[in-house]
Structure 1
Amino acid sequence: MDNITVTLDDVKKAQAALAGLVHHTPLDRSHTFSAMVGCEVYLKLENLQKTGSFKIRGAYNKIHSLTDDEKRRGVIAASAGNHAQGVAFAARLAGIRATIVMPEVAPLAKIMATRGYGAEVLLAGAVYDEAFQKAKQVQAEKGQTFIHAFNDPAVIAGQGTVGLEILHDLDDVSAIVAPIGGGGLIAGIAAAVKELAPHVKIYGVQAQGASAVYMSKQAHELKTTPDAVTMADGIAVKVPGDLTFAIIDKYVDDVVVVDDEATAGAILMLLERAKLMVEGAGAVSLAAVLHGKIPAKGKVACILSGGNIDVNFISRIIERGLVKAGRRVKMTTLVLDRPGELQRLLAIIARSRANVIHVYHDRVARNVPLGQAVVELSLETRDALHTDEILANLRREGYTVNLL
């Protein structure tokens, strides 16, 4: 396939157009993650970009290229959230109207932020592809200019400026790892980096539940998936772009997939170890490196593409991560139904240095023997070993304990 529509020169022109309008985001070496995988891991912090993701780069470059007539008609886009905010912000800078169609399940934080930038938001469909169809329908009715989330040369070129910044800040980088939804980010990066530094490996990462580009790369032809089910909503795309895939097929060295468990773990580790808030789509690159999907050699730059994650979702990830790490545990046991027995149980927990989060005591529950009560405990512990120690202490004192 040879349908390459974006060149290094296009990306350099985009960089000039974006100068002073977007952040040259940090490329931060992580000592923690480097030690974990045995190579030098650098984090490209596009989660700190204006609007919270790299998408402002492509959106503004596209709007900058519009004719006066196209601008007068206003713009319309379909997005799971980050492109929405990028288009809304870029349109506000250009003084033009913007309509954004987002999936009905888009995170509330992304919807509110998009409206906050002044765009009209319409909700349609369960995934990006369904929102895209609705946006094309509205465009046909109103005559607005469509700003594609990834399958557009100007958008691809704008996203490629991330690659130029990495080469500027780390000229001896060995590999660049980027998330893939529709492919605009990695296509732009690959088009620029492979021309300037062909020895640099380019790796793409998809969610296991939305792996159309992975499948396409394996077959060297466009493939689609019937569904796109993943917590990483920013890369939940069923149909890749033909323009982006042509570049990916030519320049990208490999595409891998990670499951949502790995992604959630990476989000939690970035929050706890690096003090960085990153959304699912932004964390898949690091997840792939941490789980050995990408060769750990030399200096590896992982692009954290966005940080627009709903705080309620973060809380669920944290709770799940703590349980998985053995730092949050629920258990039940039986105590005698008489004064002081609950206090005795809790005293053992206290001596074990665990923190009690929740206690539920019930003496009339079904299957509880007469004269006894069931106690359900939620505990905060240091790790799985600490939990084992607590269980051993309780059983030594005669309690029969069941983990929930």
Structure 2
Amino acid sequence: MGRKRTVVAAAAMLAGALVLAACGGATSGGSSSGGQTLKIGFMGDLTGENSGIVIPPRNGAKLAIDEYNATNPAVKLQLVEYDSQGSADQAVPLIQQAINTDKIVGLVGPAFSGESKAVGPILEQGKIPSVSASATNPGLAQNGWKYWHRVVANDNDQGPAIADFLIRAKAPTKAFVISDDQEYSVGLADAAFKEFQSKGVAVERDQFAQAASDYSSTVAKVKAAAPNVIVYGGYYAQAGRLLKQLRDSGVTATFASGDGSLDPQLIAGAGAPAAEGAVLACPCNIPFGATEGALKQFTDKYKAAYNTNPAIYSTEGYDAATLFVDAVKAGNTTPDAINSYISGATLDGVSKKISFKPNGEPNVNAIFIYEVKNGALNLLGQSTEAKLG
């Protein structure tokens, strides 16, 4: 996921220079003497319009750290939260504070791709390891960063998986792909569009501004095209409004979107009748109805801690934080040592088995399909095997 807000290049360069100047102070930790507490940051939208996507991985990360601290280890961990509201502009000064003032030794996040792009160079220059549970823009892996990791597949996997699933499930002759103008939204939509083209499905494309609320122009284009399937790249706040306006105009084509829309607020925004049958893809494993094994155990622990069921990226947030926990358990207390451990780690995570390629990408790129049925989200399975209900 990612929200794009322009960050002035000069400001980012200055922020990076400030980090380098303070780099000697950013490596808190060092020894594993008794009573030591290391700070792990969590960055993402915790109060903004898309916070429903970020609070679950925050909760998962906090659960992992709370469980570790409950064992009364010699080196404890403190999760420090940075509410960027998904804005790259807000993320930059927050990461400066995290590194220079709070002295974090690692970061779970950032949650979205736009803010990840903005703070990535600063984390890299500060030599602070990060593990995102949800940022999916493909370009993040192409920067040569050595301190950056993510535990989910990127949009070059997710976009084609959505298109391929719809082709297999609905055999469409025509598709329509829509996005707003946020970085994540455009990347996901472009990937789906190209996959439809490569598979010989006639496809059209449209885009609207993220701040817009009236999508009548796009709706008119969709009606004129008369597609069998529609793919929207974006977040649930916009997806719910778009889906409602499409259904109100009489468009009945199957509506699909990606991880940014995988939240019950999509159903609330569109209205249950309009949302029924919507298809959502995600490189996340939400343990809906888990009855055994690690997913059932995680569900029970999560519900006991937060009085609600796990949601999008809950398991991934838990796994991302567990990587830091395991690094510290192994005696690593400086950012460099923690980064080296994580980069070479293999974790039998709750979400999946996790290990990393040299560019920080995960080695396992599973995409899962969900469907709105009877007013609720339901897991159908991995995209290569799932079937519509």
Name the TM-score, length of structure 1 as normaliser: 0.30
Q: TM-score scaled by structure 2?
A: 0.31
